[in-house]
Amino acid sequence: MSNSLHYIVREPKKGSENPPLLVLLHGYGSNELDLFSFADELPDELLIVSLRAPYEMGFGGYAWYAINLDAENNKFSDLVQARESLTKIASLIDELKTQYNSDPEKTFLLGFSQGAILSYALSFNHPNKVQHVVALSGYINHDLMPENIEEKFNTDYYISHGSVDQVLPVDWARKASPFLDSLGLNNVYSEYPVGHGVAPQNFFSFKKWIEERL
């Protein structure tokens, strides 16, 4: 496993000296092409970078960290791997900001499932590294949160989940909004009548949310 993550880039279709940066984090068992498939539908001014998770699972699939089962079939996450991935993502975001001279006040992080879990965690462990988080079909894993939450960051959150998600229960996702509210962090939460995926109307909803912040 190398130190740097593999990624693919969509340059802004509208040139600017300091483009806003959108970083995409795919879900468990997927790869960088998955979320990148809708990159062309997103605003032209964005510099879009889709990362590939470091742990290879075979058949073109990758994970940000392993999910294991114990003897009672309870799932648990490899938090050491999760934290290593967080560090890699954070340092790559810094590299991208420098390399592309992106707007330091307009960094977006969009994650699906395991990517959403890490998007939440990164925003708390690296306050103000990203200003905007789009968390699709994920939840806040409190084991990945810092012990003391910095008061001084102002990231906002777009959260959505499928109401019939069989992979990550919607109850887990519903806890995010009250938690963020308790910290005074702006967030919007919505549910769609789908399973573990992104409905078309969900896509248009977060696209609009991103456009409003450009």
Question: What's the CA gap between 116 and 27, in Å, rounded?
Answer: 8
**To the nearest 10°, the Cα dihedral for 127, 128, 130, 136?**
50
Distance of CA 192 to the CA centre of its chain: 19
pTM: 0.95
Give SS3 for 24: strand
- What Cα–Cα distance (Å) separates residue 55 from each residue in 20, 59, 69, 94? 28, 12, 17, 21
**To the nearest 10°, the Cα dihedral for 40, 44, 49, 52?**
-10
Which residues, including other chains, have CB under 8 Å from residue 122's CB and lie 6 or more apart?
86, 89, 90, 109, 129, 130
Question: Quick one: CA dihedral 94, 180, 202, 210, positive or negative?
Answer: negative
139: domain CATH number? 3.40.50.1820
Is residue 1 situated within a structural domain?
no
Is residue 141 situated within a structural domain?
yes
Query: Each residue of 45-82: pLDDT tens digit?
Result: 999 999 999 999 989 999 999 988 777 777 788 999 99
Question: What's the CA gap between 88 and 54, in Å, rounded?
Answer: 9
Q: Note the pLDDT of residue 2.
A: 47
Number of structural domains the chain divides into: 1
Model confidence at 148, in pLDDT bands (50, 70, 90)?
confident
Position 46, amino acid: L
Lowest-confidence pick of 7-16, 25-34, 64-73:
64-73
Is residue 142 situated within a structural domain?
yes
Is residue 2 situated within a structural domain?
no
- Give the other-Cβ count within 10 Å of 201's Cβ: 12
Q: What domain range is 60 assigned to? A: 7-211
Is residue 198 situated within a structural domain?
yes
